[in-house]
């Protein structure tokens, strides 16, 4: 199986989980789901990382218990993304 195929499978799996969570948001509170989603935040594929952020972003505010469980990984993701954007801006001389 090629890398592209495995990325597509991981991305689709997260999108399927989103549909499950629509029916029952408490699924995200399960420890095994937390580990899987947190690993997805660190995936090499941008598509997988984005799918994980979309999934958590939709439900974390509606379920206060999820904020505690996902805060650390979400905040780390935001910091890394901000840093990468800053590097891009500096590299392309878009910052005065």
26 or 81: whose pLDDT is higher? 26
47-57, pLDDT tens digit by residue? 998 899 889 88
Give the closest residue to 37 by CA, choosing from 83, 81, 65, 74: 74
Which DSSP symbol is given to 25? G
Residue 72 has pLDDT above 90, yes or no: no
Return the domain boundaries, the chain. 3-91
Confidence of residue 89 (pLDDT cuts 50, 70, 90): low
User: Is the distance from CB of 78 to CB of 38 less than 8 angstroms?
Assistant: no
């Amino acid at each position: 199986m090629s890398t592209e195929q495995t990325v597509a499978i991981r991305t689709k799996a997260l999108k399927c989980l989103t549909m499950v969570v629509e029916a029952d948001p408490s699924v995200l509170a399960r420890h095994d789901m937390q580990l899987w989603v947190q690993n997805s935040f660190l995936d090499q594929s941008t598509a997988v990382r984005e799918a994980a952020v979309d999934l958590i972003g939709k439900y974390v505010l509606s379920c206060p218990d999820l904020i505690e469980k996902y805060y650390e990984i979400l905040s780390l993701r935001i910091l890394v993304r901000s840093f990468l954007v800053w590097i891009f801006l500096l590299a392309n001389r878009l910052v005065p």
